[in-house]
Amino acid sequence: MHKLKRWENHQLNHINRLPERAHYYSYFSQEDGQQGYTQARNYQSLNGDWRFLFLAAPEYSPVDFYQVDCQEEQWDTILVPSNWQLQGYGKMHYSDLWYNFPIIPPKVPTENPTGIYRRTFELNEVEANERYLLKFNGVDSAFEVYVNGAFVGYSKGARLQSEFDLSDFVQSGSNQLTVRVFQWSDGTYLEDQDMWWLSGIFRDVEFYSLPRAGLYDLTVVATTDDTYQIGQLMVTPQLSSVEGQTIRYRLSLADELVMEKTLSAGEVLQEELEAVKLWSAETPTLYLLEIEVLQEGLIEYIPLNIGFRRVEVQGKQFLFNGQPIILKGVNRHDYSPENGRVVTRESIESDIQLMKQHNINAVRTSHYPNAPYFYDLCDEYGMYVIDETDLECHGFELTNDYDWISNNPQWEAAYVNRLSRMIHRDKNHPSIIMWSLGNESGFGNNFRTMAAFAKETDPTRLVHYEGDFEAEITDVYSTMYTWLEHDEKLTMTEVIEKTQKPHILCEYGHAMGNGPGNLKEYQELFYTHDQLQGGFIWEWFDQGIQSVDDTGKTYYKYGGDFGDVPNNSNFCIDGLLQPDRTVSTSLIELKKIFEPFELNVVNRQAGVYQLINHLEFTATDAYDFYYELQVEGEVVEEGALTILAIKPQQRRTFTCLTKINAGSEQLVTLHVITQAKKATKWCEAGFELSRSVVKVQEPQLLKSTTEATVAVEEQQTSLQIATNNGLFTFDKVLGELTIKRNNQQLSGPMMNFWRAPIDNDMYLIEEYYNKYFMNLWHETLIDFSYESTSDRCVITIQKYLGTTNSSWYFDIRQSYTIFGDGKMTVMIDGIATGRKDQAPAMIPRIGVKMVLPKVYESVTYRGLGPHENYCDSRESAYPGVFKDTVAGMYVPYVYPQEHGNRMEMDYLELNDDNQVIKIQAADKLNFSVSHFADETLEKAKHTNELIEDEATYLYLDYKQNGLGSNACGQDQLQKYRCTFDDFSFGFTFE
């Protein structure tokens, strides 16, 4: 092997980095500790403006770059924390699995972008009894530290804490700090996560001190006995030096002292507590543990929030506090549309609040440890956490040797070191229930060693790693994107039959663009099979980079938009939140899927319903239940529901009788609403957690009659029907209809089988465009005939419709009945014919399109709403009457695509303030409206490219294909597919 540079030496984990330890702060006094970490001893945040020099390679560094008197006046200024690519340096690049250089581990390219950071900080006095520490919470990917012209140390592991002892380097007064950061290092081979490649000092830089006679580390184990009633507390202190100190421990709950004890410094605290209150995601009870190190007075004060809980495996289930739990989780990356992987405590807190508000109870830190305050917030708010090691070697999958370095003993220390640093930093957080060894890195002996280390170091938590396909070393059997239906791929049915351990889906429900579908089916499996204990949706955020075009429009860039090659395009736009933190339809759907209480109808006529409590630790009496009776979307009766307390995981019936006072033509619905009884950290009292809606009365469509007459005029190529509310003109050659009324022209209905592709169609698109030509339909008119009487004209058109070069086609019969008052009834029957075995497995939709003047902006409809819904993503939608606008029904997916569908429409009005178009559908249809033609959506790659047409497009569909989540995972289930089959539908237009 050729000589390795420092940043290529995979067997050099660090130089002078301090041993890993728990994250906490030390204070001079209790008063300081009560004010928070900024009052920690000698604390300084070194965030802010630093001098910055960007270089193409480390070798180009000025020889004196680390010297105090280095001439830095001409250097740039950069903000810390930041990713330098988002500050105008280097190249933006997104890829899912490729390394951006040849795979020659541990070598990296000579062209290795390097950033040199310099700043000064002040220190009033250097005290002999203090150790002065410098901490980097995240630097990508490797870096050197210099203070006052001297080399301090070297570290790597981009998303891991690195501490250095500066005691021998600092001085009273001004201190010069230099950090040299390398974009590529041998560590990069372990950091090939699905995200933007971003570099630099991207997390907080902190300076503080520890007392030399104080603690260096402490390990807190807060669990229970086998009855889950008695708390067992063990605190193991590690002092920097033992010099006769004593340690006083105080434990309190809500300011009430529970325990106080003083021990000698070498002793381990072991206490049992009667009737302990346990921590869970539902009731995140935290005790305050205060630690005082004493020696002729107070040496230091350390406050720590702890929670009592117990995690264990019994048979095919893992138990939390003695109860099997279902993880209703999400995968979360650090992400900001403006700042890349630089996130603040406030933004993380906002994330967790939104998660709690949407019934999410778990987070997997995909695919690296988060900033320390993330775990503090999960402890406080109540979130189960799978803490994941900063380790992914995905690019090796393409070498046909996925285990290349994962089974190489020369890399073992690097693997274990990353896990050890995570465990020791985060070990005192009650929210963490599993240690994950990493992600998508093959398998081998290095993982076996990691698992053994984790179990020996911390037997109180479970070990997770999806790459252990046989669950040889893990405590849970973890799979990702496991299919519900497939002839060859691993399915959930096989998992249920195979697993002898608890199972979780560490990733599923790929939330890319419009989708995912099929979430209901996964959740039903979790509730049905004990060994299936939930999973984690991929993922929380759309990782788009905020940009502004020349016209001032904001849009979001993705892979390829920066000239980055190779790239995975918009595969990073796959979250439940849009980049601007707008809640997507998929998150609203997930809230319903994850709802704590499920309502079932027992006897609608008698008003008897069943409520299932899906919570694990909380009875229903902790919540308020209300009902609303709505007629045509308006509340006509409401009140509190009296439901006897239902224990966790139990069910009970209740009665809710309401008096219906509505006409037969009106829709009547009963809404059962769950609200928070008390304000919490994440919601106000009265916050709505779930809503279940039951149809009490189906509306009957009214039929009208008219005595108005029609005037029919036939010409060589056209047929005109004049009514007292519009002129209907058929092109007899093409079989097309236009309608004129009051200086307005409407076109259609025209047959339509295409939709703007959604991201989950990505594996269909090639065949759609180049085999089946699904976007290129052709009509062959077979027959055109009509019959008329004084008050109506009935036009019958027969057509064949097929795509370019297809031997399969629809035989279509269209029947239009036009009445003297301008009302038109449309019936369309289609027979799937030709060489049917040549047809695709799915077609996008079956329906019609109409083109209306753009002035038809106001929308009122009766159907499923209030947001978009599709056949496999409709649980959060409910029947009612909803008002909206065409513009308001636009969903700004980062990558434009099909959107805005509403199902089960039987009545629709489009209004231009002066005129109204009404549509009724006895058998109910899907509909959507837009100012963008499908062709416009299809062509655009970003939202800023969309320019509204001077039209309103109305789509009425007999059926539309489901969404699925086939961008990664299950495609549309058979029951949700729009297939090449016979169809029949109709509607009335007036």
Residues with active-site annotation: 440, 507
What amino acid occupies position 267? E
What one-character-per-residue DSSP string does 467-487 give? T-TT-SS-SSEEEES-BSS-S
Residues 326 and 533: beta-carbon distance below 8 Å? yes
Do the beta carbons of residue 712 and residue 809 sit within 8 Å?
no
CA dist 525 and 497 (Å) reads 13
Specify whether the CB–CB gap between 749 and 824 falls below 8 A.
no
d(CA 879, CA 863): 5
**716: Cα separation from own chain's centroid:** 59
Alpha-carbon gap, residue 760 to 669, rounded angstroms: 33
| Bridge partners, 147 (sequence order) | 150, 177
Q: Which 8-state DSSP code applies to residue 272?
A: E
- Pairing between β-strand 858-865 and β-strand 878-885 as defined by DSSP bridges: antiparallel
Which backbone phi and psi does 854 adopt, to 5 degrees? -65, -20
For 72-78, which contacts have Cβ atoms below 8 Å and span 24 or more sequence positions? 72/118, 75/51, 75/118, 76/51, 76/52, 77/49, 77/50, 77/51, 77/52, 78/49, 78/50, 78/51, 78/52, 78/115, 78/117, 78/200
Selection from 906, 815, 834 nearest residue 865 by Cα:
906
- For residues 696 and 647, the answer to whether their CB atoms sit within 8 Å is no
The Cα angle at residue 830 between residues 811 and 702, in degrees rounded to 5: 145
Burial of 960 (0-12, 13-18, 19+ CB in 10 A): buried
From 287, 172, 206, 173, select the one nearest 38 (Cα to Cα). Answer: 206
Q: Phi then psi for 425, rounded to 5 degrees?
A: -65, -40
What is the signed CA dihedral for 568, 569, 572, 574, rounded to 10 degrees? -110
Q: How many helices (H) and strands (E) does the chain have?
A: 10, 58
Q: Which amino acid is at 308?
A: F
* Amino acid, single-letter form, for residue 823: K
Query: Which segments of 846-963 does DSSP mark as H helices, in order?
Result: 934-939
141 and 199 Cβ atoms separated by less than 8 Å: yes
From its phi and psi, is residue 141 left (phi > 0), alpha (psi between -120 and 50) or beta? alpha
Instruction: Provide the 3-class DSSP secondary structure of residue 525.
Output: helix
* Cα distance between residue 100 and residue 103, in whole Å: 9
With contact defined as beta carbons under 8 Å apart, do 852 and 949 qualify?
Answer: no
Q: Which amino acid does the sequence have at 862?
A: R
Phi/psi of residue 495, nearest 5 degrees: -60, -45
Tokens of 958: 């007999």
Name the amino acid, one letter, at 526: F
| C-alpha distances in Å from residue 52, one per residue of 55, 89, 639 | 10, 10, 63
Task: Characterize 231-250 residue by residue with b for buried, 16 or more Cβ atoms within 10 angstroms of its Cβ, and e for exposed.
Answer: bbbebebebeeeeebebebb
Q: Which amino acid is at 443?
A: F
Identify which of 88, 94, 112 has the alpha carbon closest to the alpha carbon of residue 565: 94
Q: What are phi and psi of 226, to 5 degrees?
A: -70, -15
DSSP 889-917: G----SS--S---EEEEEEEEEE-SS-EE
User: Which amino acid is present at 163?
Assistant: E
